[in-house]
C-alpha cells in the first residue's frame, strides 16, 4: 500500500472547527509539530487537550 499524499495545509481557508483546532494547537505550542508531522504525531494527552479546548470554545460560543 502506498502512503497517501498529504497536501499542504492552507491555514487561511479552513472550516471554522478546523481553524479552531489549529488556533488551539498554536496556543499550546504544538502547531509546528502538527504542520511538520501531522496530527498523528501528537500524543493522546496533547490531542485530548486540544479536543477539550475546542469543546470549551464551542460551549462558550453557544452561550453568547
Q: Which three cell numbers stand for residue 39?
A: 496530527
Residues in CB range of 27: below 8 A, 6 or more apart? 53
pLDDT of residue 5: 54
* pTM for this prediction: 0.79
Tell me the average pLDDT of the chain.
87
Cα-only R_g, the chain = 13
How far from each other are the two terminal CA atoms of the chain, in whole angstroms? 48
36-58: pLDDT as tens digits: 999 999 999 999 999 999 999 99
Place of cell 498554536: 26
Q: Which three cell numbers stand for residue 13?
A: 481557508
Amino acid at each position: 500500500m502506498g502512503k497517501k499524499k498529504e497536501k499542504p495545509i492552507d491555514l487561511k481557508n479552513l472550516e471554522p472547527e478546523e481553524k479552531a483546532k489549529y488556533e488551539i494547537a498554536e496556543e499550546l505550542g504544538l502547531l509546528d509539530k502538527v504542520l511538520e508531522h501531522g496530527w498523528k504525531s501528537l500524543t493522546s494527552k496533547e490531542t485530548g487537550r486540544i479536543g477539550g479546548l475546542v469543546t470549551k470554545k464551542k460551549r462558550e460560543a453557544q452561550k453568547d
